[in-house]
Amino acid sequence: MANLTINGKMIDVDVEPDTPLLWAIRENIGLTGTKYGCGIAQCGACTVHIDGVAMRSCGVLVSEAAGKKITTIEGLAPAGACTRCSRPGSPMTFRNAAIARAA
């Protein structure tokens, strides 16, 4: 059992400590905006922010992420913030959130 803080919410996840964070986020928590790409931390599809630093979640173990602040693509923009798309986690949602954070 691991206690993770994801997008500002404390979540208990019943996974082994050596489970890649990517799979805990997608399969156990159900946040599917973080994608599987290469599985070797090279492509960036699985990128999340851990304590404000961009990290490849396929290369981070749940045990390494416990106790840290994790932000997924779903946590970058508040619900309804995207006016050019209708799906949370779409590329436009990410783009608009990144622009808003830079302003």
Alpha helices for the chain (secondary structure H):
21-23, 62-65, 91-102
pLDDT of residue 76: 86
In angstroms, rounded to a whole number, what is the distance separating the alpha carbons of residues 63 and 66? Answer: 5
Q: Are strands 69-71 and 47-50 parallel, antiparallel or unpaired?
A: antiparallel
In angstroms, rounded to a whole number, what is the distance separating the alpha carbons of residues 95 and 70? Answer: 19
| Burial class of 103 by CB neighbour count within 10 A (0 to 12, 13 to 18, 19+) | exposed
Predicted TM-score (pTM) above 0.85: no
**Per-residue pLDDT tens for 35-47?**
999 999 999 999 9
Token match 């290469």: residue?
Answer: 38
**pLDDT at residue 87 tops 90:** no
**Per-residue pLDDT tens for 24-35?**
999 999 999 999
In sign, the C-alpha dihedral spanning 49, 72, 90, 99 is negative
